[in-house]
Structures are given as structure tokens and as C-alpha cells.
A and B are shown apart, each in its own frame.
Chain A
Amino acid sequence: MFTEQDGVAYLIGSKVPDRESYFFPAHLAGGDPAAVGAELEEVLLSPKGTVWSYTTSSYQPPPPFVAATDPYEPITIAAVKLEREQMVVLGQCVAGVTPDDLTIGSEVELVIDTLYEDDENEYTVWKWRPVTEGEG
């Protein structure tokens, strides 16, 4: 569902060939009714976007969510508008980001980060990180 290339994190989406209709995640893509039957092609989505809205999971979500920390630390979740794709994608924000750090319209970038760890493995996921002055 996501990848990293040359140090940049990307969501793997899909699109209709010759049409700017994008879907995420690729393996659960919907359809564009103007292109029924089109064979979708895989595409890397824009790695940056602007905050469309944001909220928190202040209480630990039920399974299949697995908390990264014990005790659970509230997570902040952003819905991010991608300009080229004209779509909004959900994701956790990196640890430490609170609603006070976000405003609608502010810029964020994608990173690959820890979802949770067990004795053997680290499981990863995409997260949104605010783009700070000078980094942008």
C-alpha cells in the first residue's frame, strides 16, 4: 500500500489510464463510471498534501487496531487533500503531533513509520508529518 523511493515515501494508488481518476488503496480501488471496464494502472500518489481536516482517537480503538505504546497514547489523525489527485486520504500523524499543531490547509508530507512492534517484527504504515518552515 506504500513504498519508499530515494528517501521519499509514497502511497501506492491506482488510476484510470488517460484519465485523472485516482484510487487508494490500489487493491480496493473503486471505479470511475465514465471508464467502466478500464484496466487500472498502479501509480505513486503525491507525497505531500494539505490538511483537509483532523481529529484524534483519544481512547484506544478496538482490534484489529494494535496500540504502538502501552499505555495507549492518543493518536492524531489527518485527512489530507492531494492536489494532483483531487482526493482526500486518511492517515495517522507521526507521534507527538496534536490537533494544536495542525490547521486546515497546512502542508503535510508522507513518511513511513512504525505501526507497532512485537518480539520479532516492526510493522510499518504511512503517516502524515507537518512540513515545518525551512523543510518545505
Chain B
Amino acid sequence: MDDIAILGVGMHPWGKWGRNFVEYGTAAAREALAEADVDWRDVGFVSGAITVRCGYPGYVAGSTFARALGFNGAQVASSYAACASGVTALQAARGQILSGSTDVALVVGADTTPKGFLKPNEGDRPDDMDWLRFHLVGATNPVYFGLNARRRMDLYGATSEDFAMVKAKNSRHAVHNERTRFNKEYGVDDVLASPVVSDPLRLLDICATSDGGAALVVSSMEYAKSKGITDPVRIAGLSTITPTFPDTVIDLPYLATDSAGATPEPLRGFKQSIADRVYEESGLGPDDVDLAEVYDLSSALELDWYEQLGFCPVGSAEQLVRDGVTTIGGRLPVNPSGGLGAFGEAVPAQALAQVCELTWQLRGQAGPRQVEGAKVGISANQGLFGHGSSVLVRR
């Protein structure tokens, strides 16, 4: 797979601003275009990530941002893939660029999120798995995170202190990131003193939901060269794959897993296979990675990603956080941005925000949270209904 170039990135700060999501996405897009020094009228493809919370699917996302910037005759598409929407929109842009249909594309996602648990749309909808899991089981998103965390404790000896160390580490990173919603440093004791939400996970183990917007300007390598950029941050691997049957790990929003009665479980689980794909596309492997931005919907899920991305054998992720390996200054910093624990999730923007952070890090522009000498970064993300994504960037 050929690389594409990241020419510009932009983010509206995360928060609970309560304003129209279009404002956040447009601000992020303007920043990305300015940074890329690309004339908006030269952008040939606009790829929008959809929010489902703000009315007629994100006002049909790509077009609403295109109009806000001033319709320029670009081709447009919109993607929804739950929490993986942003990278799904990026996948569409890469396809357009590598097919030769356009030279430069804008990818943008933004959300305005109500307070409290993410919940399904209104109405009586027994044919919607997302509705059923709330109605019949009371299975909120943290319930799935709690099931996962309990497994880690039982199988691998993880403790509540291990989970709290993840949150404490990420909060230390976030102190240096003015774009996150939460910049307060938390200690392990703070996490352990917060109330249980879904046993064994506590309030500070679980990410909040936020408003935010993120955007990327991406192009062909030739276009970058034509603008005199010879060494851009490049996307070398990009994955938006579905699980392979049978997926035997319960995940949201399902009431049951697949059955492994007829077909044995695949050797590589769903989340491992998301990462396998970007390693395969890029020709790189876990040993090449200098830093990662992973989806810490819960602190325990961050530990899972260490293993799923191949940073350590299954069952040994706790040791990495205990040894400080994944702290800035360690061998392989994870979530130098502060992660979801500091941002709170803005669904269609979050997977793009991960790529923004990796880009700043690879350019050496991350200020006090800079990972020294970062050349290769990877993101990992999951979304409900069998979605997930990963992006591998290199310089």
C-alpha cells in the first residue's frame, strides 16, 4: 500500500461547550488547512465523520463542513462507524487519493455530546441491539468495560491499583495538553477513592463524553512534494476491518458473542487483527513503534491494547505500566496526549484526534509532552457494532 502525506492537522479544544458541533469541526478544518498551507479551493474531496446525536445524521456531515467553509465543488462523502467514524472517513480519503481521483482531501469530525451515559435514540425499538441491551439488561457502555476489567483481574492478576496507575499516568501527560478537557493530575489514591461505576471500575477509570472537533488535510506524496514538503508525516497503514467469525469476546452492544461451536476461534482476536493489518500494510512491527495513542475508554482497556498492539505478551501489560515503560520518558509512551481519560470522548472526532497527536509528536511539536526521537506512531480505537480502527504513521 502506498503512503499518503499528512499536510495539516487541527483540533478544536475538547470540553463541554454546548455549542453547535459544526463550529468545532469548522474551526479544526480551518486550522488544518492553514497549517497545511493548502488553498481550500484546491481540496478535491471532503470526508466527514458523522455524529448521530445532533440531528439528521450530523446534517450529513461532509457537506455541512464543506458549506461552512464555502462550497468549492469538491467531491463529498460521509462516514459513520461509531467511535471509529473518524478513521473510516480517513480511509475513504486515502482511497480517493490513491486511486488518483483527487490529490488533496479534508477529513473532519466533530460532536456535541449530552451529559451522562451515551444512550440509544428514543422510541420503542426492540429490533435494535443497542436499544435491547439498555432495556433488558441495563448494560451501559461501562458495563462492558467492567466485564473486561474483571477478566484481566481474574486471568492476569491485575489489580485496581494497576488500573489507577494508567489513569494517573495519562493525567500527568494531560497537564501539558491544553486541548484536553481535563488537565488535572490525579494520583492512584484519587482514582481508588472515586465511586464504583461498573465493578471493579471506578468513575476515574472510565472516560467521560465531550464536545470536540478534529481535522486532517491529507494528500498524495506527489502533491506534498509539489509543495516543497519532502519529509511529511505519512500514513503507512490504516485499518478499519470487521471481526472474523467467531468473535468470542463480548463487546458492545451485543447481548451474546458469536458461537465457536462449529468454527474454532481465530488465532488472532478482533483487536489484534486490527493492528495486524496496519503492521502488514506498513511493513513495520511492534518493535518499530516509538509511541501509541490507544482508546482508553477505560484504564483497563488501555492495558489490553498494549498486548493487542504487540508491545508485550498477553497477560503482562500491567508490568509495563508498573515499570513506567508507557510514561513519557519511558521506552514506549502510550497516550502522551492524555488519552480519552483526559479528553472525554467526542465520538466522530476522537479517532482523528489520535492521529493529530501522533502527527505533532512525529514533527517534534508536542512541547513539554514530546516523545523524544519519535519516528513511528500507532493509534488504536474501537467502536460498537464490530467497528475498530488503527493508523500507523511514520516519518
Chain A nearest Cβ from B373, distance in angstroms: 40
Inter-subunit contact A57/B143 (CB<8 Å): yes
Besides A58-B199, A87-B261, A99-B199, 7 other CB < 8 A contacts?
A16-B262, A32-B262, A56-B199, A58-B197, A61-B138, A64-B131, A90-B256
Contacts of A22 in B (CB 8 A): 259, 261
Q: 1/0 contact trace for B191-202 toward A, CB 8 Å?
A: 000011111110
Which of A30, A33, A62, A87 is the one whose CB lies under 8 Å from B248? A87
- Which of these, B135, B195, B254, B262, contacts A19 with CB under 8 Å? B262
* Number of chain B residues whose Cβ lies closer than 8 Å to a Cβ of chain A: 49
Interface size for A (C-beta < 8 A) is 49
Contact of A65 with B129 at beta-carbon distance under 8 Å, contacts A55-B199, A88-B257 already known:
no
Complex CA gap A125/B254 in Å reads: 16
- Over the window 42-74 of chain A, the binary record of Cβ atoms lying under 8 Å from chain B Cβ atoms (1 yes, 0 no) is 000000000011111111011111100000000
Chain A residue numbers with a CB within 8 Å of B116 are 62
B residues less than 8 Å from A27 (CB atoms): 126-127
Is A53 within 8 A of B259, CB to CB?
no
Contact of A24 among B122, B140, B198, B256 (CB under 8 A): B256
Q: How far is the CB of A13 from chain B (nearest CB, A)?
A: 8
Minimum Cβ distance to chain A for residue B260 (Å): 4
**Complex contact A87–B259 (CB within 8 A):** yes
Q: Which residue of A lies closest to B152 (CB)?
A: A53
Chain B residue numbers with a CB within 8 Å of A84 are 261
Indicate if the CB atoms of B260 and A87 lie closer than 8 Å: yes
Q: Would you call A21 and B259 a contact (CB within 8 A)? A: yes
A residues touching B (Cβ–Cβ < 8 Å)? 1, 13, 15-16, 19-25, 27-28, 30-34, 52-59, 61-66, 75, 77, 79, 84-92, 99, 103-104, 115, 125
Interface 1/0 per residue, B108-141 and A, CB below 8 Å: 0000000011011010101101011111111110
Q: A56-B196, A104-B151 are in contact. Are A77 and B261 (CB under 8 A)?
A: no
**What distance in Å separates the Cβ of B151 from its nearest Cβ neighbour in chain A?**
5
State the main secondary structure of chain B at its contact with A.
loop
Per-residue contact bits, chain B 257-268, to A (CB 8 Å; 1 contact, 0 not): 111111100000
Contacts of B188 in A (CB 8 A): none
- Asked whether A125 lies within 8 Å of B261 as measured between CB atoms, the reply is no
- Decide yes or no whether B250 CB sits under 8 A from chain A: yes
CA distance A77 to B148 in the complex (A): 12
- 21 A-B contacts, Cβ less than 8 Å apart? A21-B261, A21-B262, A23-B256, A24-B255, A25-B132, A55-B147, A55-B198, A56-B199, A61-B138, A61-B140, A62-B140, A77-B143, A79-B250, A86-B261, A87-B248, A88-B248, A90-B133, A90-B137, A90-B250, A92-B138, A103-B154
Contact B256 A104 (CB under 8 A): no
Q: Which of A25, A57, A87, A90 contacts B258 (CB 8 A)?
A: A87
Check: B232 CB closer than 8 A to any chain A CB. no
In whole Å, how far is B255's beta carbon from the nearest beta carbon of chain A? Answer: 5
Q: Which residues of A contact B248 (CB under 8 A)?
A: 86-88
Query: How many angstroms between the C-alpha atoms of A25 and B115 in the bound complex?
Result: 31
Tell me, yes or no, whether B311 is within 8 Å of chain A by CB: no
Q: Which of these, B122, B139, B262, contacts A20 with CB under 8 Å?
A: B262
